[in-house]
Amino acid sequence: AARIVSRYLDAHPDGGWLPPDRAADLLACYGIACARLVLARNEHTAVAAAGVWDGPVVLKAYWPELVHKSDVDGVLLGLSGEADVRAGWRLLTRRFGDRLAGVVVQETANKGVELLVGVDSDPVFGPLVGFGVGGTDTELIGGHRFALTPLTDLDADRLLAEPRAARLLAGYRGRPGADAGAVREVLARLARLAAEQPCVAEAEINPLIATPEGAVAADFRIRVE
Ligand code: ADP
Ligand code: MG
């Protein structure tokens, strides 16, 4: 894990957002499951990557400063087969031109409860863990809760008791609920990542998609400095 961070800082002394494939590697070091992805720099690689996984894939525009991909129509969901992937590649290259540094080709996660799990380094308090309902409307829904690190069991209980998230996890209006224990694990693991990697200034998983079988990070970003 430390090597992933230091390699990036060697090349970018001012720090910044890790490329998505490196961010996925770092989360994996801490046992956080991510929807598998490849950062493709050309159409051929994108098509080859999409062919490896069963089922439809997601294409996401990538350049280092891009934070809200769906705000700029940079996320294409449910692409099945080579023709779809080629069309998606061309759409994104046409839409973003030279800004585009690559395209993330990602497997589609199962549907579930979309949550936000984040950690932010505060100069006084150190890493602060944030939790709440995720997805693209996360700011609109609000209600996020925060806890200091180290994250205790009681802290995790209080985060998970946030009423909007808790209702979704319990199964809201006939929708399936999800494994709150798996979400608790992700909270603990992300808190540990932040505590052990002081160069990590900020990390956000949104959405973490929770199902009865577990929790998978579908979108994430990690800033180091
Ligand atoms: P943004 O940069 O706008 O946050 P995301 O990568 O989070 O972009 O994608 C927006 C939405 O698309 C997510 O909230 C989620 O509903 C859906 N999504 C993104 N990636 C996946 C995936 N791998 N599998 C299933 N759904 C996804
Ligand atoms: Mg997101």
ipTM of the complex: 0.99
Quick check: CB of 75 below 6 Å from ligand 1? yes
Distances (CA, A) of 211 to 47, 71, 160, 191, 196: 29, 26, 15, 21, 28
| 146, 98: one domain | no
| CATH code for the domain of 49 | 3.30.1490.20
Residues 94 and 125 placed together within one structural domain of the fold: no
| Cα–Cα distance for residue pair 196/65, rounded to 1 Å | 25
Asked if residue 25 is part of any domain, the answer here is: no
- pLDDT of amino acid 110: 97
pLDDT, position 44? 97
Number of domains forming the structure of the chain: 2
β-strand partners of 205: 117, 220
Q: How far is the CA of 207 from the centre of ligand 1 (A)?
A: 7
In a domain, 31, yes or no: no
CB of 136 within 6 A of ligand 1: the answer is yes
Last residue of a domain, one of 58, 85, 107: 107
Residues 60 and 121 occupy one common structural domain: no
**CB within 8 A of 215, min separation 6: which ones?**
33, 112, 115, 178, 179, 182, 183, 185, 186, 208, 209
Q: What is the pLDDT of residues 53-69, one digit of tens each?
A: 989 999 999 999 999 99
Residues 116, 100 share a domain:
no
Give the residue from 56, 82, 107 where a domain finishes: 107
Same domain, 47 and 82: yes
- Ligand 1 pocket, residue 155 CB under 6 Å: no
Q: Are residues 97 and 120 in the same domain?
A: no
Whole-number Å distance, alpha carbon 12 to ligand 1 midpoint, is: 27
pLDDT, residue 11, reads 97
Within a domain: 20: no
Q: Measure the CA–CA gap between 19 and 47, rounded to whole angstroms.
A: 20
My answer on whether 83 and 134 are in the same domain is no
Measured by CA distance, the residue closest to atom 4 of ligand 1 is 68
pLDDT, residue 180, reads: 98
Q: What residues make up the domain containing 87?
A: 37-107
For residue 49, the model assigns a pLDDT of: 96
Residue 205 domain flag: yes
Cβ–Cβ under 8 Å, residues 52 and 58: no
Which portions of the chain are predicted below pLDDT 70?
A: none
Residue 61 near ligand 1, beta carbon < 6 Å: no
Residue 172 lies in a domain: yes
Check whether residue 62 and residue 163 sit in a common domain. Answer: no
Looking at residue 60, its pLDDT comes to 98
pLDDT for residue 145: 98
Residue 156 lies in a domain: yes
How much is the pLDDT for 206? 98
